[in-house]
Structure 1
Amino acid sequence: MADAALAPDRMLLRQFLAWIGEAPRPYAEAMEGWRTSCPRLSIWEDALAEELVRIIPGGAGGMAAARVTLTAAGRMMLERPGSEARAG
């Protein structure tokens, strides 16, 4: 299935993964850029629930020093065009 045929939430999820895939992001930056109050667009929560991203603790700096990175499953999803793979 081509990206254009993906549901809007899956397209946004792929955009989020591509953004994280460019470089590990600070937790606060990921939360600020991708949080939403819309229950139909739970990109951040979906990525965590499907184990496509993970939060790497930052040590003494707590969540302010934490980083968000792709998991192997997240990288795999980006490598497969049009993939709607879900962790299961």
Structure 2
Amino acid sequence: MAVSADPLVLDFVEWVAREPRSHAEVLATWKTSCPRLTIWEDAVDLGYVARAMIADVGAAIVVTPAGTQLLRDNGRVVS
């Protein structure tokens, strides 16, 4: 059963699921001038992505188990 989620949040979580992303990459790719469009902040607040330290990468944004489940529940590919 699909969990109702903002399609852009789903797109963001799916993008992060492909590979861990640096904080700078997330900001550069998902920046907006609209204060109502807070896609990546929403994903963090909802527990779908989080910051983590990864060996040989450093600080990164990664998908959480809740984010992986969200993708599965909505028919998104999870690698």
Structure 1 and Structure 2 fold alike (TM over 0.5):
yes
- Match of 1:24, SS state, is coil
Q: Tell me how far 1:58 sits from its aligned partner.
A: 6.4
Structure 1 Cα separation of the partners of residues 64 and 54 of structure 2: 17
Name the Cα RMSD after superposition: 2.6
Structure 1 Cα separation of the partners of residues 74 and 44 of structure 2: 20
Larger Rg: 1
Q: Which runs of 4+ in 1 moved over 3 A?
A: none
Q: Tell me how far 1:80 sits from its aligned partner.
A: 0.7
Where structure 1 has 5 or more consecutive residues not aligned to the other structure, the ranges are: 60-64, 83-88
Percent of residue pairs identical: 40
Where structure 2 has 5 or more consecutive residues not aligned to the other structure, the ranges are: none
- Name the residue aligned to 1:66: 59
Structure 2 Cα separation of the partners of residues 81 and 48 of structure 1: 18
Q: TM-score, normalised by structure 1?
A: 0.69
Higher helix share: 1
Report Cα offsets for 1:33-79 as digits up to 9, x if no partner: 112231321101101111110011469xxxxx410000011111100
- Match of 2:35, SS state, is coil
- Match of 1:12, SS state, is helix
